[in-house]
Amino acid sequence: MTETTAIRARRVITPAGERAAAVLVRNGTIADVVAYAAAPPDAVEVPDDQILLPGLVDSHVHVNEPGRTEWEGFATATAAAAAGGITTIVDMPLNSIPPTVDVAALKVKRACAAGQLAVDVAFWGGAVPGNVADLRPLHDAGVVGFKCFLLPSGVDEFAPLDPGQLGAAMAEIVTFGGLLIAHAEDAAVIAGAPAAHGRRYADFVASRPPGAEVRAIETLLVRTRRTGCRTHVVHLASAESLPVIRAAKADGLPVTAETCPHYLTLGAEDVPDGGTQFKCCPPIRDHANREALWEGLLDGTIDSVVSDHSPSTIEAKRGDFAQAWGGIASLQLGLPAMWTEASRRGIGLDRVVGWMAAAPAALTGLADRGSLAPGLRADFCVFAPDGRFVVDQATLRHRNPVSAYHGRTLRGVVEQTWLAGVHIEPGDRIGRLAVPPESVPPESVRPESVRPESVRPESVSLEDEERDGIPDG
């Protein structure tokens, strides 16, 4: 474990743009960003063919622990994050058991995380039927916001909100300045589409039409307009929804949106029949849709790019498109996947970093990270932008070797990741729990902490769940 007081590079991505610079570090924080030549003699030198970036912030990760640790867990998810240049992840409230819908469940998750973290972890809370009274206590305990579904989530313990329940949750959340994020697909539109069936990817895409996203976002924004609640649309996949979001922003509504690397780098035309490693909900759509999503990202309609890492066991990905789990496991690959496509389009790495570090940090209120500026966390990614590699799913750090990128050549290699001024080596467990600054901080998660097995419920297998139409979150 190497700790530094300075790191310098000929190419550093700062809020003001790319420059040669030295970043000075004191007590895990950036003390200053100075001229390259002003670095102290013991500064870590970044090779000239590599770039110093802020550590990325991934605000959409399903860790699944406790309860479904055969799918993923804190140790493997954070190891994958570190290998991908990500220094903070935010865990979604569902697919774990218990889901994070009250303070007791949050405490269980934090206890399970102890001693396992390679990078920092924050948590989303959940908004489900009947837990309005739990929302403020969860906010005060340090969750960054509240996730809800507008259709069945695929796991019984995390039920969707109907329009009245959605409005009630938003009316409560706005009283303490909180944030609601939503999986926005409309159940009625999907019920009117052909059911998912068989091995043809085109049939699966037809089962979740773009109009399901459009209608759900319209429903969501009606409540945003009524309540004033800050609202965020997760994993936007349908470009048909962009005019709705664009108009809401023009009207001054407090709405943001994210999309994911797989929607920006893959297309329905690339998915072979039977290729359930590509299944996610909403689905990867065609190349024309992908082009329109890029336009929405470049014009600011879409604010951020995050993984929606939603892994499962190999067995859960087997079967046809009706049966297989819907989720893309890509936590480690987001930066090279995005850089591969962005560089081809002439888009600078500074834009990519803004979408994948600064924007998710701002969304989640983690204001002490996401950029290389004095006073912020000394979290770094050292990135070789011209390196190339062929993805081998067997070498990825997440728990189960399944990847939609397997066999693809990606541009850009993460060479090093640093957390609070410390170089993360394989096997290091130096991550801490992260909370927004206004929250009451939890007890520190120290590398020597021991996980209390008494809080870990029995693992639940996929066979215990209803498999048909399971969406990722």
Give the predicted TM-score (pTM) of the model: 0.93
Q: What angle do CA 350, 391, 431 make, to 5 degrees?
A: 60
pLDDT exceeds cutoff 70 at 472: no
- Tell me the C-alpha to C-alpha distance, in Å, between residue 177 and each of 59, 70, 170, 285: 19, 36, 10, 35
pLDDT exceeds cutoff 70 at 448: no
What's the sign of the alpha-carbon dihedral 246, 252, 255, 261?
Answer: positive
DSSP class per residue in 282-302? SPP--HHHHHHHHHHHHTTSS
Distance CA 31, CA 401 (A): 40
Distance CA 441, CA 320 (A): 45
Q: Which residues contact 30 (CB under 8 A, 6 or more apart)?
A: 23, 24, 372, 373, 374, 375, 376, 377, 378
Instruction: State the average pLDDT over residues 175-183.
Output: 97
With b meaning 16 or more CB within 10 Å and e meaning fewer, what string describes 109-118?
Answer: bbbbbbbbbb
Amino acid at 168: A
Instruction: State the average pLDDT over residues 306-328.
Output: 94
Distance CA 182, CA 212 (A): 13
- Tell me the C-alpha to C-alpha distance, in Å, between residue 41 and each of 27, 35, 360, 379: 19, 13, 34, 21
pLDDT exceeds cutoff 50 at 220: yes
384 and 49 Cβ atoms separated by less than 8 Å: yes
Q: What angle do CA 231, 236, 237 make, to 5 degrees?
A: 165
Task: Give the pLDDT score at 473.
Answer: 73
Burial class (CB in 10 A: 0-12, 13-18, 19+), 5: middle
Instruction: State the average pLDDT over residues 257-276.
Output: 97
Instruction: State the average pLDDT over residues 263-282.
Output: 96
Burial class (CB in 10 A: 0-12, 13-18, 19+), 130: exposed
If you average pLDDT over every residue of the chain, what do you get? Answer: 92
Tokens at residue 129, please? Answer: 């039927």
To the nearest 5 percent, what fractions of the chain are helix, strand and coil? Answer: 35, 20, 45
Task: Give the pLDDT score at 3.
Answer: 75
pLDDT exceeds cutoff 50 at 29: yes
Q: Which residues contact 95 (CB under 8 A, 6 or more apart)?
A: 62, 64, 67, 68, 71, 155, 158, 310, 473
Burial class (CB in 10 A: 0-12, 13-18, 19+), 468: exposed
Distance CA 363, CA 365 (A): 6
Distance CA 28, CA 393 (A): 33
**pLDDT category, 461, cuts 50, 70, 90?**
very low
- Tell me the C-alpha to C-alpha distance, in Å, between residue 10 and each of 19, 52, 157, 279, 347: 7, 9, 50, 41, 20
Per-residue pLDDT tens over the stretch 100-158: 999 999 999 999 999 999 999 999 999 999 999 999 999 999 999 999 999 999 899 99
Say which residue the tokens 């190891």 belong to: 79
Tokens at residue 140, please? Answer: 């005060």
Phi/psi at 339 (5° precision):
-65, -35
pLDDT exceeds cutoff 80 at 360: yes
Instruction: State the average pLDDT over residues 90-96.
Output: 97
Distance CA 193, CA 293 (A): 23
Instruction: State the average pLDDT over residues 417-440.
Output: 92
Task: Give the pLDDT score at 440.
Answer: 55
Distance CA 90, CA 436 (A): 12
Q: Which residues contact 88 (CB under 8 A, 6 or more apart)?
A: 55, 56, 57, 58, 119, 120, 121, 122, 361, 366, 369, 379, 434
Instruction: State the average pLDDT over residues 276-280.
Output: 96
Task: Give the pLDDT score at 466.
Answer: 33
Task: Give the pLDDT score at 457.
Answer: 31
Q: Which residues contact 7 (CB under 8 A, 6 or more apart)?
A: 22, 23, 25, 43, 44, 46, 52, 380, 418
214 and 243 Cβ atoms separated by less than 8 Å: no
Query: Largest Cα–Cα distance of the chain, in whole Å?
Result: 67
DSSP strand pairing (17-26 vs 29-34)? antiparallel
